[in-house]
Homo-oligomer: A and B are copies of this chain.
């Protein structure tokens, strides 16, 4: 029999870990001196400890290993658990790969423009978008090269006028979206979230429900709408570097339009595949 220090050396498992395994009932010494509490291990226990070490290296938790050793497991069952572990490990491996790729993207963006920390100048975040129930009104335009302000100056009064007439209160910030049309033109939509029970379809203004999006690339734009294209540029530069592409045109969420336009806050969103 070996005292804990010797057994720790032979097994390359720390004394603290051996005590921990004793505490949680995973692996106990063959003998404990009742007077001193000293733990004593038999050489033959090394094989049992080694099985635990192996299972741990494969990524099983101590709770799982405890269950495995308590109820003797068949080869088939072990195979099943290993396959489960394999898929979990593959998932974590994939996450690590993506993280690594993102670090590389940030490095390459920064190397291009060493004048400013890119994370400050290019804070693109990928996040899920919740579903939204919107009241919308729209107008077709020829493309993205036109000035949208006159369009919105027609759309928003129409939208809010109709909502006011119906006594419907917006439940969130104003939104602009852009849609492809079958004829190749672009639909400009002015919209605002409305309650679940709000119904309307007055021809010009109707309800549209946006499905939740699991992943969207987003950036916060500060300042007036006239400088929006700079933020769009950053967002698209980032998407190119990250090799991600949008599934549709953008959405603009006007989070803060109080006070001077130089203090406005807008979120630009591209839903990703």
A residues within 8 Å of B by Cβ?
A: 9-12, 42-44, 46-47, 50-51, 53-55, 57-59, 73-79, 82-83, 85-86, 89-90, 92-93, 96-97, 99-100, 102-104, 106-107, 110-111, 113-120, 123-125, 127-128, 130, 218-220, 222, 253, 255-256, 263, 265, 267
Contact = CB atoms under 8 A, between A and B. Distances in A.
A57 B102 CA distance: 8
A55 to B, nearest CB: 7
8 contacts: A10-B255, A42-B256, A50-B219, A75-B116, A75-B118, A78-B117, A85-B103, A93-B97
A28 to B, nearest CB: 18
A124 B205 CA distance: 71
B96 A96 contact: yes
A53 B89 contact: no
Main secondary structure of the interface of A (DSSP, over half): helix
A103 B253 CA distance: 47
Contact of A256 (B44, B124, B130): B44
A266 to B, nearest CB: 9
User: Which of A46, A77, A118 gathers most chain B CB within 10 Å?
Assistant: A46
Contacts of A82: 103, 106-107, 110
Contacts of A46: 220, 255, 265, 267
Contacts of A125: 50, 53-54
A94 B19 CA distance: 30
A119 B54 contact: yes
Contacts of A104: 86
B57 A99 contact: yes
Contact of A89 (B96, B111, B265): B96
Nearest to A92: B96
A55 B122 CA distance: 12
Given A75-B114, A104-B86, A110-B79, A119 B44 contact: no
Contacts of A10: 253, 255, 267
Contacts of A265: 43-44, 46
Given A79-B107, A86-B107, A123 B93 contact: no
Contacts of A54: 119, 123-125
B222 A47 contact: yes
